[in-house]
Amino acid sequence: MSDATRTYSADQLWLADGWSADGAFAVDASGHVAPPEGEAERLGAWVLPGMPNLHSHAFQRAMAGLAERKGRSDDSFWTWRETMYAFAAAIGPEELKAIAAQLYVEMLKAGYTQVCEFHYLHHQPDGTPYAQPEAMSLALIEAARETGITLTLLPVLYMTGGFDGRPLSARQRRFGNDLSSYVRLLEALRRHEGDGLRIGIALHSLRAVPEEAMRGLLATRIAQDLPVHIHIAEQIGEVQDCLATRGARPVEWLLDHAPVDARWTLVHATHLTGHETSRLARSGAVAGLCPTTEANLGDGLFPLSDYLDAKGVLGIGSDSHISISPVEELRWLEYGQRLSTRHRNIAARREGDSVGETLWRAALRGGARAAGLPVGELRAAARADLLVLDDESPLLAARDARSLLDSFLFAGNTPLVRHVMCGGRWVVRDFRHHDEAGIAARYRAVVERLAQA
């Protein structure tokens, strides 16, 4: 037994198939799960893997709640986007690092232990690259390392302002790269890969990446075997534009023109026909659902029931960060369906199945696939990213393995995540992140400065 290996136990431990009584596991010196050895330290009644957050634009955390005032009569995603662009213009590496660190602390405390950053704020506001072209990406990597969260960084390829191939607008210029500058960015970032950091690729959307560039990128050597994420079919307008210019709906077009498989995450995929739903499920790709952002932006509802019937893989993301809570994402995933169908317990497939357990299990599995990392499971060689729930909360009193996750998801508005471990390190103890005061002070100074800009 190596000195650095520690063995832990819990009354109930969440393993791949569900709760297991009196489970034990070890964490080795590299922060990965290992077989238990020797005396175990009891962590608590309920220990489960942390949730991967498969879609984040960190900078948007600082504008959450600033676009909730009635504007023009056609208020929609597109008017919200204007507010977001104006806000983004004031953010440089220092601001991004401060905002992301605060965000990641909030994620850890809420039960997310991994985040996929869909990162497109690459250059200076006028579009000129920074002296170090990957400076904004490095700000995110530093924020993740400082807070301890596991990161999959997805630099975004963003080339055109619409399906017609128009150039980027003045406000979009800082997002832009051509294929060669994008590949150089990937090369620079992959040098930082290692413990707790994976690099993947992201196509902003079909409207922002021409077909030829998509093919070119997917054929490069560096892109092989990396996770691939794309925003798709979030808006009806996007579906209509895709039909008009490419003669097919976005998901249909992508499935016909790209090698979509388990390496891919299709973020939102809100507007699907029945045929697209079953094809997407069969592809093995992850549907990246962001229910609180999709509700906030008025996007629409994902066809959850049909997708689960077709054995589709899904995960959750907090996207615009109007809410940072895996519990609330999963709750609203289910509630949206209940409201629109006037039925209950939609996500559970068989009589007697728990909705909370079905959703938590599905989002762990899909989130890990989207992250391209061994997370979301307490099995040997996985990253030791885990949550210890609050045994002392009255909300969890008299709950057993059959009812625990339903109470956690549907009844918990007070935080029920007591301790959080990431990569074998305790990052949250008794509801507090080890560096939360300093990180919050830096965040406050940055947003106060941004508010005056």
Residue with tokens 């973020």: 267
Contact between 242 and 253 (Cβ < 8 Å): yes
Strand arrangement, sheet containing 6-15: 33-34, 18-27, 6-15, 41-49, 386-389, 417-422, 425-429, 432-433
| Shorter beta-carbon distance to Zn ion: residue 294 or 319 | 319
**Site size for Zn ion (CB under 5 A):** 1
Cβ closer to Zn ion: 322 or 359? 322
Is 268 a residue of the active site? yes
d(CA 332, CA 330): 5
DSSP per position, 373-425: SS-S--STTSB--EEEE-TT-GGGTT--TTTHHHHHHHH--S--EEEEEETTE
Smallest gap from residue 320 Cβ to Zn ion (A): 7
Which 128-147 residues touch Zn ion, going by CB under 5 A? none
One-letter amino acid at 417 equals V
Supply the minimum distance, in Å, between the C-beta of residue 204 and Zn ion.
9
Nearest approach in angstroms of CB 391 to Zn ion is 36
Q: Which of residues 86-105 bind Zn ion (CB under 5 A)?
A: none
Which of 319, 385, 390, 406 is the catalytic position? 319
Extended beta strands in 243-285, E state:
264-268
| Cβ proximity to Zn ion, 276 vs 319, nearer residue | 319
Q: Decide whether 84 or 396 has the Cβ nearer to Zn ion.
A: 84
Chain centre to alpha carbon of residue 116? 5
Residues 31/195, Cβ–Cβ less than 8 Å: yes
Q: By C-beta, is 319 or 406 nearer to Zn ion?
A: 319
Which residue lies nearer to Zn ion by CB, 299 or 319?
A: 319
- Tokens coding 33: 């799960």
For Zn ion, give the closer residue by CB, 239 or 422: 239
Write the DSSP string, 185-196.
Answer: HHHHHHTT-BTT
Tokens 């994008």 appear where?
A: 182
d(C-alpha 398, C-alpha 199), whole Å? 43
Q: In the complex, which residue's CB is closest to Zn ion? A: 319
Q: Quick check: 349 and 269 in contact, CB under 8 A?
A: no
Q: Work out how close the CB of 290 gets to Zn ion at its nearest, in angstroms, rounded to a whole number.
A: 7
Query: Minimum Å distance from CB 451 to Zn ion?
Result: 24
Q: Hey, which residues does 20 pair with through a beta bridge?
A: 13
Query: CB burial class (10 A; 0-12, 13-18, 19+) of residue 120?
Result: buried
Binding map of Zn ion across residues 388-407, x = CB under 5 A, - = no contact: --------------------
Q: Report 294-323 residues binding Zn ion (CB under 5 A).
A: 319
Measuring CA to CA, which residue among 346, 264, 258, 357 is closest to residue 301? 346
CA 34 to CA 384: how far, in whole Å?
A: 9
* Alpha carbon 33 to its chain's center: 22
> Is the CB of 12 or the CB of 318 nearer to Zn ion?
318
Q: Which of 33, 290 has the CB closer to Zn ion? A: 290
With both helix axes pointing from N to C terminus, report the angle between 93-110 and 436-452 in degrees, rounded to the nearest 10.
Answer: 130
Tell me how far, at minimum, the Cβ of 94 lies from Zn ion, in Å. Answer: 23
Give the nearest distance from C-beta 112 to Zn ion in angstroms. 16
Q: Which of 268, 271, 321, 433 is catalytic?
A: 268
Tokens of residue 176, six digits: 């832009």
Residues 187-226 that bind Zn ion (CB under 5 A): none
- Shortest Cβ distance from residue 41 to Zn ion (Å)? 40
Helix (H) or strand (E) holding 358: helix 355-371
User: Closest separation between CB of residue 55 and Zn ion, Å?
Assistant: 6
Interacting residues with Zn ion (CB under 5 A):
319
Positions marked active-site = 268, 319
